[in-house]
Structure 1
Amino acid sequence: MKINDIQRTGAVQRYQQNMAVSSGAAAKGKQKDSIHISSEAKELLQGTRSPERAEKLEQLKEAVSSGTYQVDAGKVAEKMLGYFKNPYQNG
């Protein structure tokens, strides 16, 4: 039985060389994710916001950030129950 087999280090060195080459190629080919929202979509988004809805959203944001927002567990349970009874009719 050989305890000091020196030929096994060659495989490790080849593996390290392959990893260096593949990681260098991957770094060159990486692209950052990006998103583009069309002007039509932006107009639609602006058109759906009423002043009342904007005010309600602001109130909700303030309540959440201050920690005073309360969830009505009964309403959540009703919605969940309705979904589980008819999952395809509760869009």
Structure 2
Amino acid sequence: MKIHHIGPMNVNPYQRQLTKTERLAARKASGDQVEISKEAKELQEAASWEQARQAKLDELRQQIENGTYTVDPKAVAKRMIDYYRNHR
């Protein structure tokens, strides 16, 4: 029994499949990429600000309960004057 070449000369269907598989593997090797938008980064930073603000509020609440909280009247007056001068 004589076995002839597969298909026309130098054409091998299995080689085509192997080439296709190699191309798909090369595409997958490039990998996925994730980018975080500027707005998402700002939201992440805002979460840390909220924690810091909450810690400051807790500290002030504790001072008020202990009776150790004091108000600087000159600083309050200065801030009030600055506010009304800048918001006309």
Instruction: Please give the TM-score of this superposition, normalised by the length of structure 2.
Output: 0.38
